[in-house]
Structure 1
Amino acid sequence: MGVPTEGEPIQIHSYKHNGYIHRIWEETTVLKGSETLVIGGNDRTIVTESDGRTWITREPAICYFHSQYWFNIIGMLREDGVHYYCNLSSPFIYDGEALKYIDYDLDIKVFPDMTYHLLDEDEYERHRREMKYPEVIDHILKKNVEKLIKWIHQRKGPFAPDFIDTWYERYLTYRK
């Protein structure tokens, strides 16, 4: 597994358990890259869905990927504060082409006041049956939902005060 270079633009590829592409983010600037952690920033990047539709992100975002955790976290900077979108997913890999992970449907949306909602439980259950997620994956994902909720309550990692703002400032230095 390679390590993305700080300052370089990379793509992010999200897959489903069956191996099919789910979504591609065209360009994210690497702010920190190591074998275990990638932090990236993007703003108004093109996103391509599996059916070929495209859309453009509306606000700056800081993305947090870790090779030891079954989730990734996107902090979106909006006028009323930072909104987070947390994807339950496989740990990332970086193969020189793109940062890649498997999206496992469950998501947690976190608001600026740190209230949150677990989303897409029906979609998760449907895909778990259709794509035959192994029991071990189901167990890992449920444990990682608990870990994410603990991080939210503890304001740990990307939920820490100033984490997103600090990395956004770094992102802006690459945009000049």
Structure 2
Amino acid sequence: MLPKEKEYIYIQSFKHDKSLHRTWSKAFVIEANDERIVAITDRSYVIEADGRKWLTREPAICFFYPDKWYNVISMIRKKGVFYYCNLASPSIYDGEALKNIDYDLDIKVNNDFEYSILDEDEYEEHSKEMGYSKDLDYVVHKQMKELMERIERRESPFDHDEIQRLYNRYLILKEDRRQ
């Protein structure tokens, strides 16, 4: 099942123990196919597991994959495009929400494609607490390596021109939806 273009969907991220990690109140779908779902969060409420609620500050183009163990959020800021990558299970849309399991590790990428790995300590802690298997650990680290290679090659979605094209498409589709 895939969401429809120009549809607003809900996003839910869980932890390995099935507890809710984070939700996004709305994301506007601009592309949905067997390879990826691309949705825009623009002034969307995010609710954290501890109940904290905040509003996204800038438009972000979010890439979710049914066959990759990560998702990528590209934030469009005054100083350029910045990326935040979540190591997570493949994303599934079930008609209720777009869902995945967050596996703690993140990669933060600046506008010049310099990147850093975040939350390695959280990954180790949760790995022990929630019993991540050796197979899961292997897949997460293999996918993290693939992600870093994509960043270094400036391969989609790490392509500023592609982000600009998708953002322009969003503006057109959003206006079409209003009419």
Q: TM-score, normalised by structure 2?
A: 0.95
CA distance in 2, matches of 1:161, 1:12: 24
CA distance in 2, matches of 1:24, 1:114: 27
1:94 is the counterpart of 2:88 = no
Q: After TM superposition, list the pairs within 5 Å mapping 1:53-92 onto structure 2.
A: 53-92=52-91
CA distance in 2, matches of 1:100, 1:59: 22
SS of the counterpart of 1:162? Answer: helix
Paired residue for 2:4? 5
Deviation at 1:143, TM superposition (A): 0.4
Deviation at 1:36, TM superposition (A): 3.2
Paired residue for 1:126? 125
Deviation at 1:174, TM superposition (A): 3.0
CA distance in 1, matches of 2:58, 2:17: 31
CA distance in 1, matches of 2:162, 2:16: 31
Runs of 4+ in 1 over 6 A off after TM superposition: none
**Which amino acid is the alignment partner of residue 68 of structure 1?**
D
SS of the counterpart of 1:157? Answer: coil
Paired residue for 1:112? 111
Identity rate, percent: 49
SS of the counterpart of 2:157? Answer: helix
- Greater shift after overlay, 2-11 or 31-40? 31-40
Unaligned residue ranges in structure 1 (runs of 5+): none
Q: After TM superposition, list the pairs within 5 Å mapping 1:34-53 onto structure 2.
A: 34-53=33-52
Q: TM-score, normalised by structure 1?
A: 0.97
- Number of residue equivalences: 175
Paired residue for 1:166? 165
Unaligned residue ranges in structure 2 (runs of 5+): none
Q: What value does the CA root-mean-square deviation take over the aligned residues?
A: 0.8
Paired residue for 1:136? 135
Deviation at 1:172, TM superposition (A): 1.1
